[in-house]
Each structure stands twice: as C-alpha cells, then as structure tokens.
Amino acid sequence: NAGVTQTPKFRVLKTGQSMTLLCAQDMNHEYMYWYRQDPGMGLRLIHYSVGEGTTAKGEVPDGYNVSRLKKQNFLLGLESAAPSQTSVYFCASTKWGESYEQYFGPGTRLTVT
C-alpha cells in the first residue's frame, strides 16, 4: 500500500494564481483531512470530509475550497493565492470507528510570492 500520497511536493505561486492540491489514499478510509503547518502554530485543520461527496469546514477554511468526488481522493483548491497561504500542507485519512489514528501524507510545500 502507498498509504497517503500528495501531489505536488513543492509549488511556487504568484499572488492571485490558483492551484489544486491532490491527496490520494489507498486504505479505503472514510475520513480525510487537510491541514496547514506553520512555524510555532502546529497543525491547523482547514477542511475535512467524512465520506464521498461530503465536506466540512475546519479551523481555518477561508481562502480554500475542497472536493471529495471519489472516496480515495480529496482535493484542496486555492482560487486566488495570497502570501498568507505560504505554508506546508498535509493531508491525512482515518477509518471511522477504529482507532481514529490519522495517517499523514508527505506534505506539499507551497510558497506564494
């Protein structure tokens, strides 16, 4: 199993540009999450999904949109990137009703200039 994978690994955007980050998991997990990691702030939840076709806001959802069209994929979109969105983005997944342990992807380092 590949576990949780993220595409791309690195990206540099100019202010106002848009992009989509892709997260894929092959563990048949129902729940998927997008976090951002910033120095001194830990991980903050952006959006999450409890199943195909459903999404919900997390702690810091503004400026981001998500979609879960397939169970194994969770997309994070930035419609108009801002320098404040420079961060490392992690995707995670977990299986409902078991240990609630979240499995993380390798991260995407995004820089907005």
Does residue 99 touch other proteins according to CB under 8 A? yes
Task: List all residues 6 or more positions away from 93 whose beta carbon is below 8 Å from its beta carbon.
Answer: 4, 23, 25, 27, 29, 31, 32, 33, 74, 102, 103
- C-beta of 80: minimal distance to other proteins in Å? 27
How far apart CA 47 and CA 63 sit, in angstroms, is 11
Does residue 14 touch other proteins according to CB under 8 A? no
Does residue 100 touch other proteins according to CB under 8 A? yes
Binding track, positions 51-80, relative to other proteins; x by CB under 8 A? -------x----------------------
Choice from 19, 45, 52, 86 touching other proteins (CB under 8 A): 45
List residues binding other proteins (CB under 8 A): 31, 33, 35, 40-45, 48, 50, 58, 90, 92, 94, 96, 99-102, 104-107
